[in-house]
Structure 1
Amino acid sequence: MSGAEEGALPFADDPALDALAAEAAAAQQPPAAGQAQQQTAADNREAAMLAVAVGLSLISKGVEKVKGVKVVFGQETLAEGADAVAPLLAKHNGKMPPWVMQYREELGAAVFAGKIAFQVWLAIKEAESGAAAPAAA
């Protein structure tokens, strides 16, 4: 190794490595306050779009299953819903409100009970209409 310290890695004095190290160090720096706020708003909007899309899809499928009516929600409804949900996410820094977290087990059990009640109601409605009752899931 000419000109390099003994035990040093080959190419340790390469300028490209210095540039990569500088880039990595810059990436670890926290973003400026304005950038962080803007990124959080964009993240909240994206999370809101996802949550609203899932909710609208479930509503659409539920109405179609129960009433036999196909409901289609457009992009305008999705955007309007995201605009309504994003501030809620921002208010709680993208997390669930503390009171929800305090009762998450109870809420989870209630959602499960609601799901079972809905499945039973569907089975009764289908049996009343003369259709074969679906097997319990």
Structure 2
Amino acid sequence: MRNWPIITLMLVAALFMGCNQADLSEDFQANDQLRMEIKGYVTFSYDPLNCQVGFNRQNCDFRVHSDNMSDFFSITLEEMPANTGQTIDGTATWTTGDDLHTKKTSFDVVKIQGSKIWLWSPDSRIAAVVQALY
């Protein structure tokens, strides 16, 4: 089995090539929990016992935060999502521990179901499920 290291390396490379941005977006659609993911890892998710949801239609701002507002994420878009397939410029802001992060990026509207909207930025690999409150 002198070829074992080469075979292992080829298998690992095949796994990485199989994980593209489209796969992340498709997997992301299966869950309707309000949350933000960065590169496939959940950075914040809504817990109805400890969190609140905010929405400002005029500013196209979607927020999910802990009751004491120590942890949160916010997505602000240039326009309100209306259809799947739309691409909308926006800003994502989120906390990680003691840090505050902000990223300007374009979001694809992946899915709209009721008041929930699935957003995906292939460039930044930021995904979020947000909710418009009416």
TM-score, length-scaled by structure 2: 0.27
Greater percentage in helix: 1
Higher relative contact order (CA 8 A, sep 6+): 2
Greater percentage in strand: 2
Max Rg structure: 1
